[in-house]
Each structure stands twice: as C-alpha cells, then as structure tokens.
Amino acid sequence: MKHIDLSKKVVEMIGVTKKFGDLTANDAIGLTVHQGEIHALLGENGAGKSTLMNVLYGIYTPTKGQIRINGSPVEISSPSVAISQGIGMVHQHFMLVKPFTVTENIILGKETAGCFGKINMNQAAKDVSKISEKYGLQVDPLAKVQDITVGMEQRVEILKALYRGAQTLILDEPTAVLTPQEIKDLTRIIKNLTAEGKSIILITHKLKEIKESADYCTIIRRGKHIGTVQVDQVDEQQLASMMVGRTVNFKVDKQNGAKGGPVLEISGLHVKDNRGLPALKGLDLCVRAGEIIGVAGVDGNGQSELIEAVTGLRPIESGSVSIQGKQINNLTPRQIHGRRVSTIPEDRQLRGMISEFSIAENMILENYYKPPFSKKGFSQTAPIKENAQTLIQRFDVRPDDPDYRAGALSGGNQQKMIIARQIANNPDLLIAAQPTRGLDVGAIEYVHKALMAQRNEGKAVLLISLELDEIINLSDTIAIIYEGRIIGLLQNGDADEKKIGLMMAGHVN
Ligand SMILES: Nc1ncnc2c1ncn2[C@@H]1O[C@H](COP(=O)(O)OP(=O)(O)OP(=O)(O)O)[C@@H](O)[C@H]1O
Ligand SMILES: [Mg+2]
C-alpha cells in the first residue's frame, strides 16, 4: 500500500441515505477513500453500489447525509459539480455516442474553440494521445466508437474522465464485459493511476480481482454498510460471507448424468459477421439431452455469431442447424422458440428485456400472445402477475414487485429476471450466453445450480462463456472455438486451464 496517503481523505461519504419512493437503496452508508488508494465496493446485486456512486457523481441527490471532498463539505448537485470536484465515473453500462469518433467523445462538452469558433480537433487529438500514453490507455483517436471493441470503449470512458481532470475515478463493474487479457491491461492501468496519486473506487463482483488489486473493501448488503476491511487481512471466502450473510459454495455439485440423444446438431455452418466477413467457417457441434457443452474461446472467435445463427437472428450462408432432428435454418426467432429453444442472451439490455416494461411484462415477452396470458386477444392481468410472482420468488429477483419497471432494476437483477423467464419456458435446448455476467457470487451459485438442474432433468444446455472457471465448473464437454470453428473437444476431467488456454490460442496437438 505504498502509494496511500492516509492523511488525505479525498472522499468521505457520511451517513448517506438514498430512497426511491418506499425503497431505501442506501441506508446511512459511510465510505472514506484516501489518496492513492484502490477501494473496492462489494455487495450483492441490488445492494446499492451503483446508487451510492451515482450519489457521489451527482446523478442522484441523497435523501440524507453529507459528502466531503478533500475535507470540505460539498453539495454535489450534478455531474458537472462532481467533475469540478475531481470525480470521474465510468458507468456500468457505457454512455458514449456511437457515431462519434473517440476524440469527439472524449472532448464532448469540453471543446476548445480556435479561430472563428471552429473546434481545434488536431489539438484535441494531441491532448488525448498525451494522456493515453501517460497511463498506457491505448485507443485509436480517429476511430468511430461504433467500430471499436468493448475494451477500447472502456478506455475511452476512462480517458474522458481523466481529460476532465478526475482525481478520484469510479469504475462501476469495469471488468464484467472484458476478456481476461483486457482485465490484465485494466489492472495495470489502475495501478499506474494510483502510482500517480489518483484514487480508484472499484465496483466488482469478482473476489479474485479485489484480492489482486484493492487495498480496502467496503461491503454493503441490502443498502446497509456491513464493514470496511483491509483486503490483505481477509480471504475470498470471508469477503463472500460478509457480502451475502452466509457461506457461499464456489463449486457446483456435478452428478453423473445420463446422456440422451442429440438435441442440437450443427454441421458445416458458415455465417458472416456484421461487416460481411466470414465469422463461422464450417462449424460442427452436437449437444445431447442431459449434457452441458461449454464453448470456450477468446472473445470474437465467432461465439456471438454462433448464438445468433442458432436463434434465428443472423442468416445462415451454408451448413445446417437442426433441433431434435429437424432443420431450423433461417427460421424466425419465434419459430425457433416454438421448437423449444430458450436463450439467455449475452447483451441483456439489447436482446433480453424491454426496460420500459414491468417485471411481469418482461416475464412473458415470448409468450404474451398465448393462454393463459392472453385470451381472445385480451391480455389477462391476474395470470400475468401470478406468473411473475412465482418466478420472482424462485429466482430471488429484488425487489419482489411484479409492477416494478425492469429498467430500474439493478444490473444483476435484470439478469436474474431474464434467466427466470428462459428456464420457465421449459426448453429442450437452453442456450446460455455469459449467463452470470454482472452477477454477485451468491447469485452465480444459484444460476449454476439452476443450469445443472436443467441438465439433470435431461435438457441440452449450450453454455457460451468467457469465464473459464464457469466453463470448467459446469461443462461435461468443453468445445474450443477458434476462428469460427470448433477445433477441439475436451472431456471435463482431462481439461485444465492451461490446456484450454493453449487451445484457445489455436494450438491443437
Ligand atoms: N432509478 C431508480 N428508481 C427506482 N429504483 C432504483 C433506481 N435505481 C436503483 N434502484 C433500486 O435501488 C436498489 C439498488 O440498486 P443498485 O443499482 O444501486 O444496485 P447495485 O448494488 O449496483 O447492484 P448490481 O450489482 O446488480 O449492479 C435496487 O433495489 C434497485 O432496484
Ligand atoms: Mg450496479
């Protein structure tokens, strides 16, 4: 902890309470961050982490409590006040303007005008490169945001905050969408920043990351401050139990299952990506009843295109996809759903839910037109609500209110809502893409058990995940995807992280 200056309290939140109507999202929370420190914020889905940080960043006004910056009380009434106080924030869901370039996004709202009021883009691009070099934040200043990777998008968000003079940087689940390599890069960047005397508030569900990089960790549960610990004094298990209030099982029980016949059969599949280039180049894969096949691979090797082709969202150029022996090539998503295929999509807000709808409405997105939810064209309120109540209980979606607007749920609870709906569809094939992205360890345990239960009930499960631990923990067979093909199958048991890692890089022996 060599960079921390304990005499300098850059941020103090004292007794901060934030209510949304009757719901108390933050209940008298205290948080102190010193100069040069990495302070992790840990808590279950819906515990109130993003809310607390939105208060600090001036997006929400606290119901009660005080904030001090460098020892002086300040009223942070808007993000511009927060920025002027040296606070920067990278949100859980990124907020860049997609058709703008990297530089345009970074300087947006802070443009300096040259002659005749024209924005001096050259100077701006130079300034941006300077900061990016200083902290090792590699970006392409002239690329449009819509064309860059998620990892770069995030570096742009960080640069944007630094360009505005951030001394304290809030990162809300920065690693949830990153590949392992990008996570390593980010950890290095964070360390560079603290070495410069900046402070970081890091929200993450990954205990390993907290152990690796944070100095202190504040734990909140259901809006309340449970404690602040020095990270080198605790282990992962202790952090997990402080967070959920019980011991968490990191491993899933896997019994020997009885495999049945093939449910999903893919052969010679060719599919193009968004730019019209080949993404899948003759992919073969078979998933049988009662087994979990885990697809492991470096992001961008065709995983997304595979899911989209099987679920009817992307045209198939050639090859064949069959469910229970019948070809489903280029059927519509609804027709494929009718063949008893359920999907937990990788981008929950884009493909999994309608933010403006209630939880109850979201729970019937694929079935709203069928009985008992609709009769003679009229939607039936009572069964819709009852269905939601049952699923909310079963999957512990919080808050347990069917009328709650889905967009107001915390990220993790949005995910639980989607998983609940897909499992309730009772499919023959369940496709689970990044099913635990953004979930807390307690919820991950639950989802893993639920996927395992699906397998034990004889369903075919296709799991696509960037979390190697998850793949190893759950899969009966691991399929390695590389450059649009499955280049190897490993029976779980013969597979260790090293072997899988090598194959993911294209090495087949
Ligand atoms: N704008 C809002 N209106 C109403 N309720 C909200 C709003 N924002 C958050 N909440 C509620 O406040 C509680 C805390 O949510 P918050 O997003 O802070 O959780 P979180 O700890 O960040 O969870 P996650 O790990 O899932 O992101 C949740 O119950 C959530 O539904
Ligand atoms: Mg959050």
| Distance (Å, whole) CA 320 – CA 316 | 8
277-310 pLDDT, tens digit per residue, is 999 999 999 999 999 999 999 888 999 999 999 9
Whether 411 lines ligand 1, by a CB cut-off of 6 Å, is yes
Name 133's Cβ contacts closer than 8 Å, sequence gap at least 6: none
Ligand nearest to the CA of 409: 1
| Minimum-distance ligand 1 atom for the alpha carbon of 21 | 4
Q: What is the pLDDT along the chain (509 residues), one digit of tens a residue?
A: 567 888 999 999 999 999 999 999 999 999 999 999 999 999 998 999 999 999 999 999 999 999 999 999 999 999 999 999 999 999 877 789 999 999 999 988 777 666 666 667 788 888 888 888 888 888 888 889 888 877 888 899 999 999 999 999 999 998 877 777 788 889 999 999 999 999 999 999 989 999 999 999 999 999 999 999 999 999 999 999 999 888 888 788 888 878 899 999 999 999 999 889 999 999 999 999 999 999 999 888 999 999 999 999 999 999 999 999 999 998 999 999 999 999 999 887 778 899 999 999 999 999 999 999 999 999 999 999 999 999 999 999 999 999 999 999 988 899 999 999 999 999 999 999 999 988 899 889 989 999 999 999 999 999 999 888 899 999 999 999 999 999 999 998 887 888 888 898 888 86
Whole-structure pTM value: 0.83
Q: What residues are paired with 317 via a beta bridge? A: none
Residue 411's closest CA among 54, 18, 107?
Answer: 54
Nearest CA to ligand 1 atom 8: 408
**How many Å lie between the centroid of ligand 1 and the Cα of residue 188?**
29
Pocket of ligand 1 contains residue 442 by CB under 6 Å:
no
Q: What is the dihedral of CA 303, 138, 437, 344, to 10 degrees?
A: -30
- The whole-number pLDDT of residue 158 equals 92
Tokens of 183: 């996570």
Q: What local confidence, expressed as pLDDT, does residue 115 receive?
A: 60
| One-letter-per-residue 3-state SS of 199-265 | EEEEECCCHHHHHHHCCEEEEEECCEEEEEEEHHHCCHHHHHHHHHCCCCCCCCCCCCCCCCCEEEE
Q: Identify the nearest ligand to the CA of 220 by its number.
A: 1
Position in ligand 1 atom list of the atom nearest CA 440 = 25
- Residue 71: C-alpha distances to residues 13, 14, 59, 133, 336 (Å): 11, 12, 21, 32, 59
Nearest CA to ligand 1 atom 1: 408
Q: Which of 16, 18, 20 to mutate to test the pocket of ligand 1 (most atoms within 8 A of CB)?
A: 20
Residue 129 Cα, ligand 1 centroid: separation in angstroms? 36
Q: Is 398 in the pocket of ligand 1 (CB under 6 A)?
A: yes
Which secondary structure element, helix H or strand E, spans residue 270, and what is its range?
A: strand 262-272
| Count of CB atoms situated within 10 Å of the CB of 102 | 26
Q: What pLDDT, on the 0 to 100 scale, is given for residue 499?
A: 87
Whether the CB of 20 sits within 6 Å of ligand 1 = yes
Residue entry with tokens 């968490």: 248
Helix locations, 427-496, DSSP H: 441-456, 468-474
Q: Whose CA is nearest to atom 14 of ligand 1?
A: 48
In short, whether 42's Cβ falls inside 6 Å of ligand 1 is no
- Residue 46 CB less than 6 A away from ligand 1: yes
Identify the bridge partners of residue 38 per DSSP, sorted by sequence position: 200
**What is the best residue among 410, 415, 437, 441 to mutate for testing ligand 1's pocket, by most ligand atoms within 8 Å of CB?**
410
| Size of the chain in residues | 509
- Looking at residue 262, its amino acid is P
* Distance of alpha carbon 188 from the chain centroid: 21
Report the distance separating Cα 330 and Cα 312, nearest Å.
Answer: 6
Distance 399 CA to ligand 1 centre (A): 9
Measured distance CA(476)–CA(295) in Å, rounded? 11
**Which structural domains are found in the chain, ordered by start?**
5-244 (3.40.50.300), 262-340+427-504 (3.40.50.300)
